[in-house]
Structure 1
Amino acid sequence: MSPRDFRIDRAKGILIFLVVLGHLLARTSPWESPILGAPMYFIYMFHMPAFVFLAGITAKSNKLAERVLTYFVLLATVLPLMWVWMWVFGLDPDYSLLTPFWYTWFLLSMAWWMITVPFIERFPRTMLVASLVLGLFGGMLPILDTELSAARTMAFWPFFVFGKLYGKQIISWAGSLAIWQKLCLSAAALGTVGYFYLDQVDHHWLYGSLNFAHFDVSVPEGVGLRLIVDIGAVLLMLALLSWLSDTKDTIATIGRHSLAVYILHGFVVRGLEPILDDSRDVLHDAVVLLICVALAVVWTGVLSWGPFERALRWYSSTVTGLLLKPFPFLRPKDVEGHGGGGTGRGAAADPGAGAAAAAHDQGAFDRAAFDRADGPGDAYCPGESHHPGNAYSEGDGPDRQGLGLQPLPGVGYQHSPGYEQQPGQQQSYASPAPIAAEPYPLPGSHEVPQNNATYETTQEVPAGAAQRAVRYRRLPVYLSGDADR
């Protein structure tokens, strides 16, 4: 398994801090203040698109039902708890059954994006074009808005698709830039933010949650503004990635635990809301900004504590496992080569492997989809790769080559009919005793003379192919000494 790329963790650590800071500042009515408005434009220009981009990098299609359901479990858990929490503090949760409350939109959007992962892997170009079209022109649809997080799902979907298809290459490219190139990229990114800030562009464009009709703009104007917002997000994201080093530090640890920070920080922010609402009446805006920065630093560090992350993952994995237990067909075993430690159909031929698989199904839920998945708190695991287009998943067929699979003891061709060990040599296929001057017919081919023929060892095949050994038995390789052949 390749080493962990801590640039992704560090990027997530910085972004989750900006999420906490942005939500704290939002309680102070910052858009009306020149001092508080500048960091708000900077944060909301790119922090969620960048998070979606990183989520696309770590998105995988294996165990898809578990991954998608985990987001719904978290959403269904956070919403009632948040409503009760706000009722305790005398706040109005502005309840709507079809509209995710506040920051929970991301959990619902992640579920929709995860559903598209198999299609992205199967039809990468088509899905890339579709995401760009919906991202830019989706605001034309009058029926899709904040309901079911539809508008944001479409607006940020291109970042998810780009992350899935080209994320690792983009991070490597950004990190390889020269210092002067990084400075130019950063200047261009800040220039885009400055345009929005100085021109006082409606900040709701940065949310991506409203269609064009809410802004009373024409379709060309709406598409143009959406394109400018996306360009600004890309420039800021690339600028951030270009300055990150592959170093394991506190920021990387926070990034690894960003799921807990994302879920829990909302309760902290809403608990502080009564104080933050009136802060600008008694304090200067600069002081309010410093207080919010200090609160964001403290609470980001506190909520990234390991037990919070483990408890949240245990809860989500346990509930998801219980919900999927009556539907075993929705929890297929991992294929060897995906790095997930699961077993395919071929491994079932080995009693030890079958027992291990049964123990896995009866045991813990593999720490849910988030252990190797996506979203703000995913654990990035480069070693678990996906092989799109592999038509022989789960061990089907004889042609799964190049995956580094070795047969297990007790299974494979060495136990199939027609195979025996020859004295004084390694494993080989022994042909039937030849009859003098008679050819040995090879099934499915022309007859080959037996004179001076030698037979080499055949290629090993994946474990678990014993039940199909006769059907898929590879033929010996005929090596002739005749130079004319």
Structure 2
Amino acid sequence: MSTRDYRIDRAKGILIFLVVLGHLLARTSPWESPILGAPMYFIYMFHMPAFVFLAGITAKSNKLAERVLTYFVLLATVLPLMWGWMWLFGLNPDYDFLRPFWYTWFLLSMAWWMITVPFIERFPRTMLVASLVVGLFGGLLPILDTELSAARTMAFWPFFVIGKLYGKQIIDWAGSLAIWQKLCLSAAALAAVGYFFLDQVDYNWLYGSLNFAHFDVSVPEGVGLRLIVDIGAVLLTLALLSWLSNTKDTIATIGKNSLAVYILHGFVVRGLQPVLDDSRNVLHDAVVLLICVALAVAWTGLLAWSPFERALRWWSSTVTGLLLKPFPFLWREESDRRSERGRGERGRRGNAVNPGDTYHPGDAYSEGDGPDRQGLGLQPMPGVGYQHSPGYEQHPGQQQSFASPAPVAGEPYPLPGSHEVPQNNATYETTQEVPAGAAQRAVRYRRLPVYLSGDEDR
């Protein structure tokens, strides 16, 4: 049974607050003010690279068509609504589907990054190198800019790949640092922000949305500045992760519902834009900053209300399901494919699985991919339940092809109740609760020597 890592949720909670705050401040022309410009440099140096890094950690290749299409559905939903919303407030949006408007670029970029996940899993080192090259040198391509969110997709892709391949290890490493190490890391991160702020580096570099031609720089200058920006983002991201504890709290809840906050906050910010545009004309910059912080706290908390998140996910999943319904080969469960591959591999190896041990509707285990329970050769027995097929053996070196490992002596086996495989007994017997009206099902397992070759994703 997997345990949720609340460090990821808490990181998302903090970052989504910074997203809301940054977009509120951006409506006040903050880059011209030292008081407002400093927090803007801090936020924009790392908040989206860090978000992309966390997205890489949770990215999976199963149900890929559904996952990718979901982002397109959200984009196609949000864009027209945002255009209409801005029209109501007398604002002039950019009516162009090829140039995702404002913050909606992230939805399109997520779709592109998700398409690369199977390749990242299959060729991890190659894709890591490719992402670094693309991230640093992508600005060379003059034809790629805000169109189709191409520039940002390339600039932030390394963070997605690193998150996918090494994200959990990085979070563990950052959290294991001593206090003095965390303080040094945080100081280095703030020093990077100070350098950009005091040197007045063009803040457009932080957006990642423009190519080198826009800045009128040479190739070495462009690559060098892109590298410096990325190093600053890495330092700030690591500093944030180092201080997070694996605790479920309000921040974690906000992070869990960050999709709703991200999509809905844009309507709030644009609704407040007429007021924010003129705020610095009547208020001191420090007061404007405090008001924006208060608004960000309030609206982040309100938009993180669970019904908003559930409604968005219901809408996106419903529309996605309808669009994919004519193409069942795109949304078939990955577990079914793994089960078929596993049965095919066992057939080719000639394992002594009972010929009658095939899948029938209604013959299902409480967990797993099919009647041959997790590669153990379990056979349905009328009136008894499931037991090992006679003569079934699992040979040393045989790769486990299912989601859960086979029983190992002394370790919990992933069934309800977490039963343990006895250390010294050949078999054990247990019962499981089944729906009312049906008899309890007795299940007998035989301990077998099993060699696991490792994660199936590697």
TM-score by length of 1: 0.74
Q: What is the letter of the counterpart of residue 227 of structure 2? A: L
Deviation at residue 2 of structure 1 after TM alignment: 2.7
Name structure 1 gaps, 5 residues minimum: 357-382, 385-393, 416-420, 430-456, 464-476, 478-485
Question: Are the aligned partners of 2:379 and 2:389 in contact in 1 as well (CA < 8 Å)?
Answer: no
Name 1:11's counterpart in structure 2.
Answer: 11
Name 1:351's counterpart in structure 2.
Answer: 361
CA distance in 1, matches of 2:50, 2:318: 29
Question: Are the aligned partners of 1:407 and 1:462 in contact in 2 as well (CA < 8 Å)?
Answer: no
Deviation at residue 407 of structure 1 after TM alignment: 2.6
Q: What is the letter of the counterpart of residue 218 of structure 2? A: S
1:409 to 358, 361, 380: 380
Name structure 2 gaps, 5 residues minimum: 344-356, 403-448, 450-458
CA distance in 1, matches of 2:221, 2:274: 38
What is the root-mean-square deviation of aligned Cα atoms in Å? 2.9
Name 1:227's counterpart in structure 2.
Answer: 227
Deviation at residue 240 of structure 1 after TM alignment: 0.1
CA distance in 1, matches of 2:203, 2:133: 22
User: SS state of the match for residue 326, structure 2?
Assistant: coil
Return the structure number with greater relative CO, CA threshold 8 A, min gap 6.
1
Do the aligned partners of residues 156 and 351 (structure 1) sit closer, same or farther apart at CA in structure 2, a change above 3 Å counting?
same
User: SS state of the match for residue 335, structure 1?
Assistant: helix
TM-score by length of 2: 0.79
CA distance in 2, matches of 1:261, 1:9: 13
Question: Are the aligned partners of 2:28 and 2:277 in contact in 1 as well (CA < 8 Å)?
Answer: yes
Matches within 5 A, 1:164-183: 164-183=164-183
Matches within 5 A, 1:253-402: 253-335=253-335, 349-353=359-363
What does the per-residue CA deviation read over 1:294-332, in whole Å, with 9 as the maximum and x for residues that have no partner?
000000000000100111110000000000000001012
Do the aligned partners of residues 87 and 462 (structure 1) sit closer, same or farther apart at CA in structure 2, a change above 3 Å counting?
closer
Question: Are the aligned partners of 1:41 and 1:193 in contact in 2 as well (CA < 8 Å)?
Answer: yes
Q: What is the letter of the counterpart of residue 380 of structure 2? A: P
* Corresponding position: 1:459 with 2:401: no
Deviation at residue 3 of structure 1 after TM alignment: 1.3
CA distance in 2, matches of 1:264, 1:223: 35
Q: What is the letter of the counterpart of residue 378 of structure 2? A: P
CA distance in 1, matches of 2:125, 2:390: 45
| Identity of matched residues, % | 81
Q: Which moved more, 1:1-10 or 1:129-138?
A: 1-10
What does the per-residue CA deviation read over 1:449-481, in whole Å, with 9 as the maximum and x for residues that have no partner?
xxxxxxxx6339999xxxxxxxxxxxxx9xxxx
Question: Are the aligned partners of 2:145 and 2:211 in contact in 1 as well (CA < 8 Å)?
Answer: yes
Deviation at residue 96 of structure 1 after TM alignment: 2.0
Question: Are the aligned partners of 1:334 and 1:343 in contact in 2 as well (CA < 8 Å)?
Answer: no
CA distance in 2, matches of 1:50, 1:73: 24
Deviation at residue 29 of structure 1 after TM alignment: 0.3
Q: What is the letter of the counterpart of residue 51 of structure 2? A: F
Deviation at residue 427 of structure 1 after TM alignment: 6.6
What does the per-residue CA deviation read over 1:332-388, in whole Å, with 9 as the maximum and x for residues that have no partner?
2132798xxx9989697222158x9xxxxxxxxxxxxxxxxxxxxxxxxxx99xxxx
CA distance in 2, matches of 1:173, 1:332: 37
CA distance in 2, matches of 1:59, 1:105: 18
Asked which structure has the greater CA Rg, the reply is 1
Q: What is the letter of the counterpart of residue 50 of structure 1? A: A
Deviation at residue 38 of structure 1 after TM alignment: 0.2
What does the per-residue CA deviation read over 1:397-431, in whole Å, with 9 as the maximum and x for residues that have no partner?
x9xx9x675635259xx99xxxxx9xxxx9744xx
Deviation at residue 230 of structure 1 after TM alignment: 0.2
Do the aligned partners of residues 404 and 193 (structure 1) sit closer, same or farther apart at CA in structure 2, a change above 3 Å counting?
farther
Question: Are the aligned partners of 2:45 and 2:206 in contact in 1 as well (CA < 8 Å)?
Answer: yes
Do the aligned partners of residues 348 and 251 (structure 1) sit closer, same or farther apart at CA in structure 2, a change above 3 Å counting?
farther
CA distance in 2, matches of 1:192, 1:462: 46
Q: What is the letter of the counterpart of residue 207 of structure 1? A: Y
Q: What is the letter of the counterpart of residue 325 of structure 1? A: K
Do the aligned partners of residues 321 and 287 (structure 1) sit closer, same or farther apart at CA in structure 2, a change above 3 Å counting?
same
Question: Are the aligned partners of 1:53 and 1:162 in contact in 2 as well (CA < 8 Å)?
Answer: yes
CA distance in 2, matches of 1:169, 1:291: 38
Count residues in correspondence. 383
